[in-house]
Chain A
């Protein structure tokens, strides 16, 4: 007992000078310190960026040049402001051979005023000014290369140019799509591409395999209802808050084929902005599970909701995972029970996988592509000209004003599931290349 007490009292007997315990303590301290430092730095950064947006909102947009901001350590989008970029480009020898990109601040000084005077897209698409503006956007190779505010700025500047389709780019893009995905024959599961008796592999549940029994086979359409470039002008309507108060309803309704995502509300309250016609609408099975109790209870409420989309067909990702299948089949059964002639289609899992792979190469790396991107991809093959409305995945519109997440609510999605900003970024690029037309402003 005595010995033990002695041992306890004697400092040298601990033998923990730089032993495990003290090392551990030092690590914890260091970690804490680093976190604290980061917090401080981040905090400053955050405040700064907020200030920038506040300025963007105001009238001083024209003569705003971003403050030098070097503290880009570890932030998601490394801030690199305009002056710095110009500076670097001027010293790059090959940049002059491609095209001389004027400094952002230069553009503003020289051209900004003029552009803003006639904002209605009066510049020809192929005019030199527009080419410069387009190059401005094409220079942003990756989304994280510039601050969003700067991308917005360039996007806003581009609005003065009238969009025109580039035949060459479009046909190239369509070619690569038809090589990878081939929507006109593989978009939906059909009797033709999914014969009875075969086994269908799920999209994510790699172990999940659905045998195509006669019962399942019966639900498939005989063949794909749409063919290649069948429609002249298509409109894909995203649910972004950007479409609110855009008064694009009439323009949308004039399209030949209209896609919508996730059964959005299109009643009188919104129809001025989003239009009232629909030809194809996707339904996420999770919506059915949450809002309609998987159709295990009441079914008429869901039927009534679908009645809003007059003759449109519905399409469901039934073979995404095993949980989706039953719910999706139930939609088909329910419509049959109510003697509805509405078409019900299921995305082919292989098609969706191919689409995902295609976009992953373009920089959209997410767990899953969004329904909007699926529809745009399909529309690119089905239509000659594709117009996007309501696609904008940033918390503020190009003018820097905050917008709601959806045009009908502000429910944020599960983080980390979709890579929406990257998708939009791709659309912006495609708009610039003349492949599709992204509408972000109000329609006239």
Chain B
């Protein structure tokens, strides 16, 4: 109306154009504000300090809640079917199936006779698993003496090829049954496996005969390094088994958590593993999930237990994820270990 009025009274073409110009500026501003709200939501959570306080208030008290566990497993099974779908298998991805990348906007790869033989026949895990331990890489694990606790679990899941050298054994344990590997690690640490592959193969020996879980079909640049990791392990007849994460499963898990208020471009590997464990195991304990720079005793905590390299800032929403997990902890569905583990007799 304003524009109409303007055009009638002044009759100038120029001014209309000027208003249009202003309109586009307004539109751009609106988009910017919307983006701003998307990245920094107003409803975003309590500050770090409040979370720490709440955790302290809760203390060591934890009560297992079987109905909660069953309920969650049902929810996850309904949305994502972790038992069948968590890895790309010959069963769920026959030749010719199109795998849509979950971390790309519009990109796919068809299963052909180059990739098909690399998949396992079917879900190789013997279900149901009893006691699972999901080990994050948070700095809070350092000096936690949780190693023995973790090793007692029936199935240990770890994230992103963490170091398991002697210095850390007391805190993080030695056993591994499944370890995820981000293709970016392969790219950075092992020169994309284009040159010498010995370093990679040797460093994988720490994980014994576990499963390597790689999100090969999530990001476009991640596919080749992941396949190359498979070739490297197969060439040396290693006893590790490579599982490729199913992009469908990852997407549905992402949507599951988005519906529960985790706003991030992508979930962290830790949350994927916890969801997987909740769907597969009867009892889940999570260690080393602590995305804050201050510990419970107000002491600074490094980002990882092995280094303090901070991640790319707006990619993961770790604190939000932590709040979600903590709610599950409070309801007794899973157990979070955020402090030291009690010394065992």
Interface residues of A (CB under 8 A from B): 296-300, 303, 326, 329-330, 333-334, 336-337
Asked whether, in the complex, the Cβ of B234 is within 8 Å of the Cβ of A298, the reply is yes
Chain B residues, CB < 8 A from A298: 231, 234-235
With beta carbons under 8 angstroms apart, the residue of B224, B227, B235 that contacts A299 is B235
Which of B28-36, B140-148, B153-161, B191-199 contacts its partner? B191-199
Asked whether, in the complex, the Cβ of B195 is within 8 Å of the Cβ of A333, the reply is yes
Asked whether, in the complex, the Cβ of B195 is within 8 Å of the Cβ of A300, the reply is no
Chain B residues, CB < 8 A from A337: 196-198, 201, 236
Q: Which 3 A-B pairs have the closest CB atoms?
A: A300-B235, A333-B196, A337-B198
Judged by a CB distance under 8 angstroms, whether B330 is at the interface is: no
Minimum CB distance partner of B199 in chain A:
A337
Chain B residues, CB < 8 A from A303: 235
With beta carbons under 8 angstroms apart, the residue of A297, A326, A333, A334 that contacts B227 is A297
Kindly provide the distance from the CB of B159 to the nearest chain A CB, expressed in whole angstroms.
27
Chain A residues, CB < 8 A from B227: 297
Minimum CB distance partner of B202 in chain A:
A337
Judged by a CB distance under 8 angstroms, whether B228 is at the interface is: yes
Asked whether, in the complex, the Cβ of B235 is within 8 Å of the Cβ of A336, the reply is no
Can you name 5 extra interface pairs (CB under 8 A) apart from A300-B234, A333-B196? A296-B228, A297-B228, A298-B235, A303-B235, A333-B195
Chain A residues, CB < 8 A from B198: 336-337
Minimum CB distance partner of B191 in chain A:
A333
Report the count of interface residues on B (CB-CB < 8 A).
Answer: 14
Interface of A is mostly: helix
**Docked complex Cα distance between A337 and B196 (Å):** 6
Asked whether, in the complex, the Cβ of A330 is within 8 Å of the Cβ of B194, the reply is yes
With beta carbons under 8 angstroms apart, the residue of A299, A326, A330, A333 that contacts B231 is A299
- What are 23 sample pairs from A and B whose C-beta atoms fall under 8 A apart? A296-B224, A296-B228, A297-B227, A297-B228, A297-B231, A298-B234, A299-B197, A299-B231, A299-B232, A300-B234, A300-B235, A303-B235, A326-B194, A329-B195, A330-B194, A330-B195, A333-B195, A333-B197, A336-B196, A337-B197, A337-B198, A337-B201, A337-B236
Kindly provide the distance from the CB of A299 to the nearest chain B CB, expressed in whole angstroms.
5
**Docked complex Cα distance between A329 and B198 (Å):** 15
Chain A residues, CB < 8 A from B231: 297-299
Interface residues of B (CB under 8 A from A): 194-198, 201, 224, 227-228, 231-232, 234-236
Kindly provide the distance from the CB of A126 to the nearest chain B CB, expressed in whole angstroms.
57
Chain A residues, CB < 8 A from B201: 337
Minimum CB distance partner of A337 in chain B:
B198
Chain A residues, CB < 8 A from B235: 298-300, 303
**Docked complex Cα distance between A303 and B235 (Å):** 10
Chain A residues, CB < 8 A from B228: 296-297
Kindly provide the distance from the CB of B186 to the nearest chain A CB, expressed in whole angstroms.
13
**Docked complex Cα distance between A375 and B227 (Å):** 38
Kindly provide the distance from the CB of A178 to the nearest chain B CB, expressed in whole angstroms.
37
**Docked complex Cα distance between A303 and B197 (Å):** 14
Chain B residues, CB < 8 A from A334: 197
Chain A residues, CB < 8 A from B194: 296, 326, 330
Chain A residues, CB < 8 A from B196: 333, 336-337
Kindly provide the distance from the CB of B225 to the nearest chain A CB, expressed in whole angstroms.
10
Minimum CB distance partner of A333 in chain B:
B196
- Highest count of chain A CB atoms <10 Å: which of B197, B232, B234, B236: B197
**Docked complex Cα distance between A299 and B198 (Å):** 12
Chain B residues, CB < 8 A from A333: 195-197
Chain B residues, CB < 8 A from A336: 196, 198
Kindly provide the distance from the CB of B214 to the nearest chain A CB, expressed in whole angstroms.
16
- Highest count of chain B CB atoms <10 Å: which of A299, A303, A336: A299
Minimum CB distance partner of A215 in chain B:
B195
**Docked complex Cα distance between A333 and B200 (Å):** 13
Kindly provide the distance from the CB of B205 to the nearest chain A CB, expressed in whole angstroms.
14
**Docked complex Cα distance between A326 and B191 (Å):** 13
**Docked complex Cα distance between A337 and B235 (Å):** 10
Chain B residues, CB < 8 A from A297: 227-228, 231
**Docked complex Cα distance between A330 and B235 (Å):** 15
- Highest count of chain B CB atoms <10 Å: which of A300, A330, A334, A337: A337
Kindly provide the distance from the CB of A436 to the nearest chain B CB, expressed in whole angstroms.
40
Kindly provide the distance from the CB of B9 to the nearest chain A CB, expressed in whole angstroms.
53
Chain A residues, CB < 8 A from B232: 299
Kindly provide the distance from the CB of A91 to the nearest chain B CB, expressed in whole angstroms.
69
**Docked complex Cα distance between A329 and B194 (Å):** 10
**Docked complex Cα distance between A329 and B195 (Å):** 8
Kindly provide the distance from the CB of B196 to the nearest chain A CB, expressed in whole angstroms.
4
Kindly provide the distance from the CB of A224 to the nearest chain B CB, expressed in whole angstroms.
25
**Docked complex Cα distance between A334 and B195 (Å):** 8
**Docked complex Cα distance between A386 and B194 (Å):** 39
**Docked complex Cα distance between A329 and B228 (Å):** 17
Kindly provide the distance from the CB of B332 to the nearest chain A CB, expressed in whole angstroms.
48
Chain B residues, CB < 8 A from A300: 234-235
Chain B residues, CB < 8 A from A296: 194, 224, 228
Minimum CB distance partner of A329 in chain B:
B195
Kindly provide the distance from the CB of B291 to the nearest chain A CB, expressed in whole angstroms.
37
Kindly provide the distance from the CB of A346 to the nearest chain B CB, expressed in whole angstroms.
16
